[in-house]
Amino acid sequence: MFIKKVTNTKNGITYLTYRLVKSQRIDGIPKHINILELGSLSEIPLDKHKCLADRIERLINNDTLLFFDQDVLIDQWSHYFYRKLISNSFNKPKIIINNNTGNKQVGELFPINLAGTQQLDNIQQIKLDTFESITSHEIGGEWLCTQAIKELGLDHYLGQQPDWNFNETSLGMLGLLGRLLYPGSEKKTAEWLNENSAAMELYCPESGTVDRNRLMQCTKKLYQDKDKIEKHLSGQIDSIFNIENKLILYDLTNTHFEGMMKLCPKAKYGHNKQKRNDCRQITLGLMADQDGFVKHSNYYAGNISEPKTFADVLFELEPFKNGIRRPVIVMDAGIAAEYNLKMSLSKEIDYLCVSRSGHKDLLAKVDKDKLVCFVNKNRQDVRAQFFHQNIDYQIGKEKFTRQETLLYVETPAKEAKERGMFGKKQQGFETGMQQIKGSVVKPQKNKKNQAVAKIWERIGRLKEKYSGIGQAYSIDVVEVEGQATDVVWQFIKNNSIEPKLGTYFVRTSIIAEDEALLWKIYHTVGEIESIFRTLKSDLNCRPVFHQKEINIESHLNLSVLAYFIVSFIRYRLKQNKIYHSWTEIVRIMNTQKCNLNSVMNTKGEKILLKTCTQPQLKAREIYQAMKYKQMPFYRKTTVLKVG
């Protein structure tokens, strides 16, 4: 064998590639038989090409090196091309001639049992001492996700689009599998697909390998079709589970960047929910249904005001109104500004949210003896009472008045959480006051720092830092001739803050008569918080290391598409009493492997056997709950003939 230089011309540009060939006489005429395309071999010097060809030939013929003096680079590349040669021997695409056009096409869009494997006699005489286990790759998670993708029809949908070809669709699905099972950068995903995963047994691109650039190109292409793909997946899930979209949940989160992000206009400093206020960020807005299935996503600047995004939500809800008698949008207090609620009513869309107002007038009317008591899922008592008030809005120039319901709620869990936050604020505030007092008592050379106005300014900044806590303290500054000599403060036991801990008002425009039911409906907003946790923890969408806006939004979009698959699988598993997190599901499924073994027969032929291990008990339970096949294949065999 030797490596042959090949000159290619494309679009008027000439470039060189290399090919592994062997010389063979056919009908007495010496000819070059092509073995494998090697590409540009840019990393291997020309004087080492012969060493590379010799090493590949030794691997094929099972020749053991007595003395390993081979260059490490040559050894790595020789094993890489050897694996590629084996892969090609299994994955020969089946070509069909289209009778109408005369064009050559791949026989199946995504064949699971790939064509090209040779049918061998079941009885072979082999040399046991030549048996070799070549590779072992993960296939359980890939097979589970691939069947979910096929059930949702995502690969078929892309394959039917005129701007998606077979190779792009394969790479797009491989990138999606990477985000689902080994979330990381495109570089890490490519390494995982080429070295650890058997995903290319299920989606095999034309080259047989992937790289970071091609993955990124297909990720951006998925983002260009974002709205159409989300609509397709949402419709498929609704159809499969027969879901009625009675509620639409909406919330926002943010993800930060490592870097200055000068190439991304949307990367801004803002309030970061992970306390990374030192980093620029981008905001992700998600619409979901009551079961936690995503309906639509949007991307905003990192410093955008949450209420300002609500107009986009109402626009996206217009198509849903045909399938819902009167849609109800559930949202958190951060989005529920008064003008947003009125705008929602003007679009004939009901709302359910936590009120941003303290409703002092209604608090005075709360009768502790008339509170309705019910139990939440944590077996804790929740107490509630209904109130009603009118809200004015207009449609066009016509004005309307509608009665809305307010539910006063007391919950022990919220009280414990807010009391802990209150205690933390109290500790920080008192520590700050001690520091101010210490600076006042200690004589200062610069008397301006002890001026009464200056001390009150410092106290004001401290109150701003620990917002709201100042109402629980009485504070006085002792002064002599305009100079502060002491600072005195005292905690007010019957303050106006503590009675409100653990209480809030749920506000809605729907007619409600059952306190417990209304409270439970509002708490479905927790489903969207679960989505954000999965995106950030299991699918690793943060932090973002891309720099350009298109790459950033493509990265986030791929994570959202991956969540469609995650939510689909987990929802069906929950229906069958399996409540694993996504990380645990991946761990269980990765116990199933795809193994490649080789052995020489007495004819001097190398027989390659590709087998898939049986799933273990927990993996089998997941397959059964999903009603999926447990094995992508049982055994594939072929003969590697190159000598």
Highest mean pLDDT among 381-395, 452-466, 614-628: 614-628
Say whether pLDDT at 19 is over 90: no
Q: Look up the pTM and report it.
A: 0.81
Q: DSSP of 79-94, one letter per residue? A: HHHHHHHHHHHH--PP
Taking alpha carbons only, the member of 378, 380, 317, 374 closest to residue 349 is: 317
The residue with tokens 């409703």 is: 359
Average pLDDT over residues 522-546: 87
Say whether pLDDT at 233 is over 90: yes
Say whether pLDDT at 64 is over 90: no
Give the list of residues 6+ apart from residue 114 with CB closer than 8 angstroms, or none.
90, 91, 92, 201, 204, 636
The residue with tokens 């109290």 is: 426
How does residue 205 score in pLDDT terms, banded at 50, 70 and 90?
confident
pLDDT of the residue at 417? 85
Tokens of 35: 């073995």
Taking alpha carbons only, the member of 231, 281, 295 closest to residue 253 is: 281
The C-alpha atoms of residue 388 and residue 407 are separated, in whole angstroms, by 9
Average pLDDT over residues 432-459: 81
- Between helix 166-181 and helix 549-575 the angle, nearest 10°, is 70
pLDDT of the residue at 97? 35
Average pLDDT over residues 136-154: 96
Among the residue ranges 78-92, 161-175, 448-462, the one predicted with the least confidence is 78-92
- Domain 230-403+504-547: CATH superfamily is Transposase Inhibitor Protein From Tn5; Chain A, domain 1 (3.90.350.10)
Average pLDDT over residues 155-163: 92
Highest mean pLDDT among 228-237, 250-259, 317-326: 228-237
Query: pLDDT tens for residues 100-129?
Result: 444 444 434 333 333 334 556 677 788 888
pLDDT of the residue at 567? 96
DSSP H or E run through 220: helix 212-224
Say whether pLDDT at 69 is over 70: no
Say whether pLDDT at 608 is over 50: yes
How does residue 221 score in pLDDT terms, banded at 50, 70 and 90?
very high
Sign of the dihedral defined by the CA atoms of residues 109, 112, 114, 119, in that order: negative
613-619 long-range contacts, CB within 8 A, separation 24+: 615/140, 615/589, 615/591, 616/588, 616/591, 616/592, 618/588, 619/140, 619/588, 619/589, 619/591, 619/592
Say whether pLDDT at 471 is over 90: no
The C-alpha atoms of residue 615 and residue 630 are separated, in whole angstroms, by 7
Average pLDDT over residues 362-367: 86
pLDDT of the residue at 447? 63
pLDDT of the residue at 272? 82
Taking alpha carbons only, the member of 573, 598, 581, 592 closest to residue 632 is: 592
pLDDT of the residue at 125? 85
pLDDT of the residue at 104? 41
Query: pLDDT tens for residues 343-361?
Result: 999 888 899 999 988 888 8
The C-alpha atoms of residue 634 and residue 458 are separated, in whole angstroms, by 74
Burial of 275 (0-12, 13-18, 19+ CB in 10 A): exposed
The residue extents of the domains of the chain are 2-90, 141-225, 230-403+504-547, 414-500
Average pLDDT along the chain? 85
The C-alpha atoms of residue 541 and residue 470 are separated, in whole angstroms, by 39
3-class DSSP string for 267-282: CECCCCCCCCCCCCEE
- DSSP SS3 for 62: coil
Burial of 210 (0-12, 13-18, 19+ CB in 10 A): buried
DSSP H or E run through 583: helix 582-589
CB 308 within 8 A of CB 298: no
The C-alpha atoms of residue 286 and residue 300 are separated, in whole angstroms, by 11
How does residue 617 score in pLDDT terms, banded at 50, 70 and 90?
very high
CB 368 within 8 A of CB 350: no
pLDDT of the residue at 34? 84
Query: pLDDT tens for residues 180-204?
Result: 999 999 999 999 998 899 998 899 8
Among the residue ranges 124-128, 198-202, 222-226, 266-270, the one predicted with the least confidence is 124-128
* 45-78: b (≥16 Cβ within 10 Å) or e: eeebbebbbbbbbbbbeeeeeeeeebeeebbebb
Average pLDDT over residues 13-39: 84
Residues forming beta bridges with residue 596, ordered by sequence position: 135, 610
Q: What is the DSSP letter of 438?
A: H
DSSP H or E run through 506: strand 503-508
Taking alpha carbons only, the member of 564, 207, 193 closest to residue 185 is: 193
